Amino acid sequence: MDFSYAIILGVVEGITEFLPISSTGHLMLTARLLDLGQSEFLKSFEIIIQLGAILSVVALYWRELLVKWETMKRVVVAFVPTGIIGLVLYKIVKAYLLGSETVVLWSMFLGGLFLLAFEYWYGKKSPLTPLLQSGENNKLENISYGQAAALGLFQSIAIIPGVSRSAATILGGLFMGISRKTIVEFSFLLAVPTMLAATLLDLFKSAGQFSLSQWDFLAVGFFVSFVTALTSIKFLLNFIKKHSFIAFGAYRMAIALIFWFFIVR
């Protein structure tokens, strides 16, 4: 790896972290295009720079994180099942799933298909419901603790590379009747403790193996992902005002097929 690759991966992470298209999957596929190969450092790099993107949430939503305790209590409740499952399965995921192109491509394709099916069902279920609701249904603190715990379970599905943490959380919230804007913002906030824990766990396990130059690459990727993610968050919030996630579902399927037929085979 060199600094240009660290910048490219940082941009990819920042753009894809909050969109329902899987940042981990895109990082792995980008590494394939750059012919980086799969190494333990690259696996750690892909985990750690996600925290850079997540810190953009802190920059934009610091009030919800530091002042609005009713919201934060729900974020903590949602994090508990994700944290437990992630801790238990960390070694298995990093050893056998993270780095597997087959797992990523199947997850991206089937996840895209599920997005299309879900949006079709969701539109049929409530065709007159606006994409952006208002009032009581549009408040983070009105998510119940039971819903928060369930959202943590939905998010934990994304421990499989290519699934997309944001997609799992958002679709779970929509299924439970939470408004689109509210669940998108909640997925932003839930990402903070989730990726902080994932990064700290990986650093605890692997930091002693990094060389000085590798720390430099991590710093560059971390910073670039933070800056890029600020734009990505604003884009998604504007996008959901008028659109569903159908385009993202089609995109996921197209990317998987392109890699299957032209790159991986």
pLDDT confidence bin for 91, thresholds 50/70/90: confident
Domain ranges of the chain: 3-264
User: Cα separation of 200 and 89, whole Å?
Assistant: 15
Give yes or no for residue 66 having a pLDDT over 80.
Answer: no
**Rounded alpha-carbon distances, angstroms, from residue 60 to 53, 229, 238, 239:** 12, 11, 15, 17
- Ramachandran sector of residue 144 (left: φ over 0; alpha: ψ -120 to 50; beta: rest): beta
Rounded to two decimals, the pTM is: 0.84
Q: Per-residue DSSP letters for 113-140?
A: HHHHHHHHHHHHH-TTS-SS--GGGG-G
Q: What are the angstrom distances between the C-alpha of 117 and each of 7, 107, 108, 123, 182? A: 35, 15, 14, 10, 21
Q: Round to whole Å and give the CA distance between 261 and 131.
A: 35
Dump pLDDT digits (tens) for 203-259: 787 777 778 888 888 999 999 999 999 999 999 989 988 888 999 999 999 999 999
pLDDT over threshold 60, residue 130? no
Give buried/exposed letters for 141-180 (b at 16+ CB in 10 A, else e). Answer: ebbeeebbebbbbbbbbbbbbbbbbbbbbbbbbbeeebbb
Chain centroid offset of residue 110 CA: 16
